[in-house]
Amino acid sequence: MSTPEFPDSLADAFADVPDDYRSGFACFVGRPNAGKSTLTNALVGTKVAITSNRPQTTRHSVRGIVHRPDAQLVLVDTPGLHKPRTLLGQRLNDVVRTTWAEVDVIGICLPANEKIGPGDRFIARELAGIHRTPKIAVVTKTDLVTSEALVEQLIAVDQLGKEVGIEWAQIVPVSAVADRQVSLLADLLVPLLPEGPPLYPEGDLTDEPEQVMIAELIREAALEGVRDELPHSIAVVVEEMLPREDRPADRPLLDIHANLFIERTSQKGIVIGPKGQRLREVGTKARKQIEALLGTPVFLDLHVKVAKDWQRDPKQLRRLGF
Ligand SMILES: Nc1nc2c(ncn2[C@@H]2O[C@H](COP(=O)(O)OP(=O)(O)OP(=O)(O)O)[C@@H](O)[C@H]2O)c(=O)[nH]1
């Protein structure tokens, strides 16, 4: 019988940890499109959260893990908090609040290129109610504004804190896209974490189950083709992942069967495209990303199904993993 490997490798991984090592959880909040996912990716250095220029594309609490010699920072990427109009909207908001109560530090993302608005105030007020957790204001997308405009925004952020009763632990301007001050942000987050050993083995970038990440990659690719027609009507479920039988050991192939759900039959044509061309492109794009994620060749079998009005139906939501 073989002994389990996990405890050994874990002990190895933790052997060199200094006494003042810190570890803990941080999450970024902010209105849809504020740049939370992009920032998470930039900090972790690998694509784990899903970004798109449509609001509300982050459904799952994807964690990215930043490994440093002095600390381990686990990032929880939450969906945007917004006015719930559907059952899905309500569940998303619940996920956000639960996350806030559990983390060691919260970063509120405020885009440099947009005036602070009612959406930001709403989130800041909600945040002010979470007393014990330190809060950092992150001014995102600084590459899009002049330095004068940035200074004005920093002042506005300071005032926002005073207005809602939050004392910002820091106000940090960053650009995830231009890689400006991203590592400084990590440097400022780390001292706010409690002292303690690493929470995850070195090398782990996320503990999100593979199937969920794969489903998100497919959904992202699918959204890209049909951005304006179907912003929020797509859900993806990976039904099965199996290594193809009868393959030589040096040429493995992983079969992935996934269903792409839409809300109405009329949306089918949009997703599939003329002669199935769009769906093929979605499949190719998603397959490449999945192969990069898993490091193995993949055969992606993608089917489009109608789950009528899934956003409003509790049973369907459960089936689709919400
Ligand atoms: N120029 C520039 N664009 C950025 C930056 N960060 C994010 N963006 C863009 O802003 C858009 C939204 O970014 P996301 O990271 O998906 O935003 P989010 O806050 O996670 O959005 P939701 O998932 O909707 O809550 C995308 O088109 C990004 O490419 C940045 O530093 N500079």
Complex ipTM? 0.98
Give the E-state strand segments of the chain in sequence order.
22-29, 62-67, 71-77, 105-111, 135-140, 170-173, 235-243, 254-262, 298-306
Same domain, 135 and 216: no
| Percent of residues, the chain, with pLDDT higher than 70 | 77
**Could you tell me the distance, in angstroms and rounded to a whole number, from the CA of residue 15 to the centre of ligand 1?**
38
**Is 79 annotated for ligand binding?**
yes
Give a yes or no: residue 114 inside a domain: yes
Same domain, 46 and 74: yes
Give a yes or no: residue 149 inside a domain: yes
DSSP state string for 200-254: S-TT----S-HHHHHHHHHHHHHHHHTTTT-TT--EEEEEEEEEPTT--TTS--E
Same domain, 217 and 138: no
Give a yes or no: residue 201 inside a domain: no
Q: Tell me what pLDDT residue 7 has.
A: 41
Q: How confident is the model at residue 51 (pLDDT cuts 50, 70, 90)?
A: very low
Q: What is the CATH number of the domain that holds 271?
A: 3.30.300.20
Instruction: Select from 166, 192, 218 the last residue of a domain.
Output: 192
Same domain, 133 and 228: no
Distance, in Å, from the CA atom of 108 to the CA atom of 241, rounded to the nearest integer, reads 37
Q: Tell me what pLDDT residue 4 has.
A: 35
320 versus 220: the higher-pLDDT residue is 220
* Nearest atom within ligand 1 for CA of residue 28: 19
* Nearest atom within ligand 1 for CA of residue 58: 23
Same domain, 169 and 227: no
* Most confident residue range from 5-9, 115-119, 137-141: 137-141
Same domain, 114 and 221: no
Give a yes or no: residue 172 inside a domain: yes
Same domain, 30 and 87: yes
- CA atoms in the 13 A half-sphere facing the CB of 8: 4
- Write out residues with Cβ below 6 Å of ligand 1: 30, 32-38, 51-53, 55-58, 79-80, 140-141, 143-144, 175-177
Which domain does 221 fall in, by range? Answer: 210-319
Give a yes or no: residue 199 inside a domain: no
Q: What is the CATH number of the domain that holds 77?
A: 3.40.50.300
- C-alpha distances out from residue 246 to 149, 251, 252, Å: 62, 10, 9
Q: How confident is the model at residue 117 (pLDDT cuts 50, 70, 90)?
A: very high
Give a yes or no: residue 281 inside a domain: yes
Same domain, 253 and 151: no
Q: Which residues pair with 260 in a beta bridge?
A: 236, 304
How many independent structural domains does the chain possess?
2
Same domain, 133 and 281: no
Give a yes or no: residue 72 inside a domain: yes
Give a yes or no: residue 126 inside a domain: yes
- Reported as a single tens digit per residue, the pLDDT across 131-185 is 889 999 999 999 999 999 999 999 999 999 999 999 999 999 999 999 999 999 9
Same domain, 117 and 264: no
H/E element, 93: helix 87-102
Instruction: Select from 192, 223, 238 the last residue of a domain.
Output: 192
**Is 38 annotated for ligand binding?**
no
Which residue minimizes the CA distance to atom 12 of ligand 1? 33
Instruction: Select from 192, 222, 247 the last residue of a domain.
Output: 192
Global model pTM greater than 0.80: no
Same domain, 216 and 104: no
Same domain, 171 and 272: no
